[in-house]
């Protein structure tokens, strides 16, 4: 099995499409670093002067009128329709400060988790395409029949192909996320704020990267299974794109209550060790109004892990059953 997986790994690396996919991932990563640099740039001297002037105007207005504004707000609070925030929150006229004007500094601990999440989606999609093309090409060209002549034990062939895709994506993930982490830190250290990047923060980022590596490897294997079931790379890609558009985008936006059972949210729950989502709660008030408010709900890491784990196992089992029994010609 190890020898067969090694052979499949060499075949995977030899495919031109795989190398193009890896190059595209690295290219997008460089663009993400360029975007981080662009967004971290400070304001020009002219823009800083303009922001300071706006602050001074706002501060002068606060000094002159904040007591008046506070009294007017409290006097009108009782007549505001329910539901409404507490009066201390609604009538909160704090003194403005200069840092509220202009462009805020980029903070590494705030931007890095978002970049890791975006990069994980990119890597998972690339792994799916690589896995689907690697296995789908075997069926499209008919070479799977020749391969089974060399190795007739189908389960060994099935397992080695999926293992090769999963293992082959590990160094891609490690290199990509290492470039992203190091590059972003160096950029923000020069142009933004890295204070607060403690050992615990680095530990959390490394844990997130480790979970990303697992889910990317699984995505590669899933791409291979779908291509095996559908016998064509394009069909596998069409299925996943149809799911994203019809189920995640359309169905998921119409029925917010089904979000915990969609792949994207469980992907986030696994990657971020828990995530949140919002549902709308609409009702009529005694005054005759119809109000809607967004309620934040949580989706646990355990839910995401079980959801993705069970789904992957079932799909792998279906692929094994079909490959073992179906004619490959």
Query: Mean pLDDT for each consecutive 10-residue tract of the chain (329 residues)?
Result: 73 84 93 91 73 77 77 74 72 74 81 93 93 83 67 80 91 95 93 87 93 95 90 86 84 77 92 87 69 81 94 92 75
84/173 Cα distance (integer angstroms): 47
The answer to whether position 182 is within a domain reads: yes
Query: What pLDDT score does 297 carry?
Result: 85
**Where on the phi/psi map is residue 244: left (φ > 0), alpha (ψ -120 to 50), or beta?**
alpha
The answer to whether position 139 is within a domain reads: yes
DSSP one-letter string for 272-286 = TTSEEEEEEEEEE-T
Query: What pLDDT score does 329 carry?
Result: 63
The answer to whether position 261 is within a domain reads: no
Query: What pLDDT score does 167 carry?
Result: 92
The answer to whether position 89 is within a domain reads: no
Shortest CA distance to 207 belongs to which of 266, 260, 270? 270
255/262 Cα distance (integer angstroms): 11
Its domain, for residue 181, covers 2-37+110-254+312-325
Shortest CA distance to 39 belongs to which of 191, 161, 183, 169? 191
For 154-186, letters b (16+ CB in 10 Å) and e give: beebbbbbbbbbbbbbeebbeebbebbbebbbe
> Which 3 state secondary structure label does DSSP give 41?
coil
261/117 Cα distance (integer angstroms): 19
Q: 323 with 227: CB under 8 angstroms?
A: no
Prediction pTM value:
0.82
The answer to whether position 278 is within a domain reads: no
Number of CB atoms found within 10 A of residue 194's CB: 18
DSSP one-letter string for 119-188 = HHHHHHHHHHHHHHHHHHHHHHHTHHHHHHHH---HHHHHHHHHHHHHHHHHHHHHHHHHHHHHHHHHHH
The answer to whether position 140 is within a domain reads: yes
Query: What pLDDT score does 220 carry?
Result: 93
Question: What domain count does the chain have?
Answer: 1
Q: Cα–chain-centroid distance for residue 198? A: 24
Query: What pLDDT score does 286 carry?
Result: 67
Could you say which DSSP state residue 80 is in? S
The answer to whether position 67 is within a domain reads: no
The answer to whether position 265 is within a domain reads: no
């Amino acid at each position: 099995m190890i020898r067969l997986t090694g052979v499949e790994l060499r075949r995977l690396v030899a495919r031109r499409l795989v190398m193009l996919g890896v190059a595209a991932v690295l290219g997008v990563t460089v663009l993400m670093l360029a975007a981080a640099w662009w967004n971290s740039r400070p304001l020009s001297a002219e823009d800083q002067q303009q922001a300071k002037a706006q602050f001074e105007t706002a501060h002068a207005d606060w000094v002159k009128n904040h007591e008046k504004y506070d009294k007017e707000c409290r006097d009108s609070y009782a007549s505001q329709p329910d539901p409404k925030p507490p009066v201390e929150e609604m009538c909160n006229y704090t003194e403005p400060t200069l840092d509220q004007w202009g462009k805020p500094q980029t903070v590494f601990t705030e931007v890095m988790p978002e970049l890791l999440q975006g990069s994980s989606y990119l890597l998972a999609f690339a792994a799916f395409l690589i896995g689907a093309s690697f296995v789908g090409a075997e069926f499209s060209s008919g070479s799977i029949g020749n391969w089974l002549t060399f190795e007739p034990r189908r389960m060994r062939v099935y397992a080695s192909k999926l293992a090769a895709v999963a293992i082959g994506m590990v160094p891609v993930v490690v290199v990509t996320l290492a470039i992203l982490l190091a590059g972003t830190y160096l950029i923000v250290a020069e142009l933004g704020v890295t204070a607060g990047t403690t050992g615990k923060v680095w530990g959390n980022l490394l844990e997130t990267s480790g979970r990303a590596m697992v889910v990317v490897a699984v995505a590669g294997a899933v791409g291979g299974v779908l291509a095996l079931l559908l016998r064509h790379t394009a069909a596998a890609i069409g299925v996943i794109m149809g799911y994203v558009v019809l189920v995640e985008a359309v169905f998921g936006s119409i029925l917010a209550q089904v979000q915990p059972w969609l792949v994207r949210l469980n992907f986030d729950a696994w990657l971020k060790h828990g995530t949140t989502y919002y549902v709308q709660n609409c009702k009529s008030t005694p005054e005759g109004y119809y109000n809607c408010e967004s309620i934040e709900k949580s989706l646990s890491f355990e839910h995401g892990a079980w959801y993705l784990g069970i789904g992957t196992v079932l799909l792998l089992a279906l692929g094994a059953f079909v490959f073992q029994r179906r004619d490959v010609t």
